[in-house]
Amino acid sequence: MWCGQIRESRGWLVTDWAGSGHVEPLIDADEDFLYITPDMTLSLNNDIYWSAPQEYIGNKVCCACY
């Protein structure tokens, strides 16, 4: 099975389904992972999703491949 790899952690956004806004996630000190806090999403509607950078749109991406 082919599995894409995320090679760059920049460019990802957390967006609400209504399209009324987005927030840029934080990157941990080691730049290993992205994360958001509940406070960061207060300006967004309840239904949120991770919006991928253009290079990943339409490609299958796995977080862990075994």
Per-position b or e across 36-49, b if 16+ CB within 10 A of its CB: eeeeebeebeeebe
pLDDT value at position 33? 81
**Is the CB of residue 14 less than 8 Å from the CB of residue 41?**
yes
CA distances from 3 to 7, 52, 60 (A): 12, 16, 7
25-42 confidence digits (pLDDT tens) = 988 888 778 888 989 888
**Taking 80 as the threshold, does the pLDDT of residue 23 lie above it?**
yes
- Whether pTM > 0.75 for this model: the answer is no
Between CA 58 and CA 62, with CA 43 as vertex, the angle to 5 degrees is: 25
Domain boundaries, the chain: 13-56
**Taking 70 as the threshold, does the pLDDT of residue 65 lie above it?**
no
